């Protein structure tokens, strides 16, 4: 396989097969800056979907922006509140890529970013319980799929937040453009720390 020193590509073969050319951080941020936010808190609840997420260059910057806001608001408050908002923001970040390796790398980058910032902000490690919720959401929100030709084969979850409880509504991706999309499965409200069980 032909290798390249350019960090925007992994190999010439992958550019040919997957059109895989990564976007630089500066361009990612310039594009994200174009999305208007009504208030500084809007960033917490806005949902973002990257249909060709690669190794997560957009997803990681979206996460950083969301973390920056919750760090500002909740870093000094109760641990459970901070943990809830980590989960809350993660439920709003979605990615699809046709390449399984890219999906794994994206999930890994987001997990590591949360672990790093959690340590910086709270001075302790993310608990195993929270980590299992983080992994649960990332496995459902960042998925392998063909976002152009096979949208009927992918399921996406919409999370409905009620207090500290979360309901999960699973939709066929191709149904989301319909006026009244019906969920395929609804998982009733659960406490956010119990999402993975």
Ligand X SMILES: C[S@@+](CC[C@H](N)C(=O)[O-])C[C@H]1O[C@@H](n2cnc3c(N)ncnc32)[C@H](O)[C@@H]1O
User: Which residues, 6+ apart, have CB-to-CB distance to 112 below 8 Å?
Assistant: none
Q: Which is nearer to ligand X, 66 or 88 (CB)?
A: 66
- Looking at the Cβ atoms of 88 and 107, the one nearer to ligand X is 107
Shortest distance, position 37 Cβ to ligand X, whole Å: 21
Helices H / strands E in the chain, number of each: 7, 6
Of the pair 49, 121, the CB lying nearest ligand X is at 49
Supply the minimum distance, in Å, between the C-beta of residue 142 and ligand X: 12
Interaction site with ligand X (CB under 6 A):
18-23, 50, 52-54, 57-58, 96-99, 102, 146-148
Do the Cβ atoms of 166 and 160 come closer than 8 Å?
A: yes
Residue 10 C-alpha from the chain's centroid: 22
DSSP H stretches of helix in 92-190: 100-122, 128-141
Residue number, 121 or 144, with CB nearest to ligand X: 144
Residue 91 and residue 142 in contact, taking contact as beta carbons nearer than 8 Å: no
Residue number, 52 or 131, with CB nearest to ligand X: 52
- The CA distances from residue 15 to 9, 58, 98, 174, in Å, are 7, 18, 13, 27
Task: Name the residue number minimizing CB distance to ligand X.
Answer: 54
Residue 58, SS3?
helix
CB of 4 to ligand X, least distance (A): 14
**Ramachandran region of residue 62, left (φ > 0), alpha (ψ -120 to 50) or beta?**
alpha
């Amino acid at each position: 396989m032909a290798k390249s020193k350019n960090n925007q590509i992994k190999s010439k073969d992958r550019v040919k097969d997957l059109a895989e050319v990564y976007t630089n951080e500066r361009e990612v941020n310039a594009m994200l800056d174009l999305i208007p936010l009504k208030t500084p808190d809007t960033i917490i609840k806005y949902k973002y979907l990257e249909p060709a997420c690669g190794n997560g260059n957009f997803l990681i910057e979206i996460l950083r922006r969301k973390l920056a806001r919750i760090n500002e608001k909740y870093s000094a408050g109760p641990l459970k509140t901070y943990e809830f908002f980590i989960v809350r923001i993660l439920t709003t970040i979605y990615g699809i890529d046709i390449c399984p390796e890219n999906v794994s790398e994206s999930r890994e980058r987001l997990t590591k970013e949360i672990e790093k910032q959690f340590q910086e902000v709270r001075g302790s490690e993310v608990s195993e319980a929270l980590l299992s919720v983080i992994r649960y959401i990332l496995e459902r929100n960042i998925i392998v799929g063909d976002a152009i030709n096979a949208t009927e084969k992918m399921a996406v979850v919409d999370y409905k937040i009620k207090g500290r409880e979360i309901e999960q509504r699973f939709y066929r991706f191709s149904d989301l453009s319909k006026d009244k999309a019906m969920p395929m499965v609804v998982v009733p409200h659960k406490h956010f720390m119990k999402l993975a069980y």
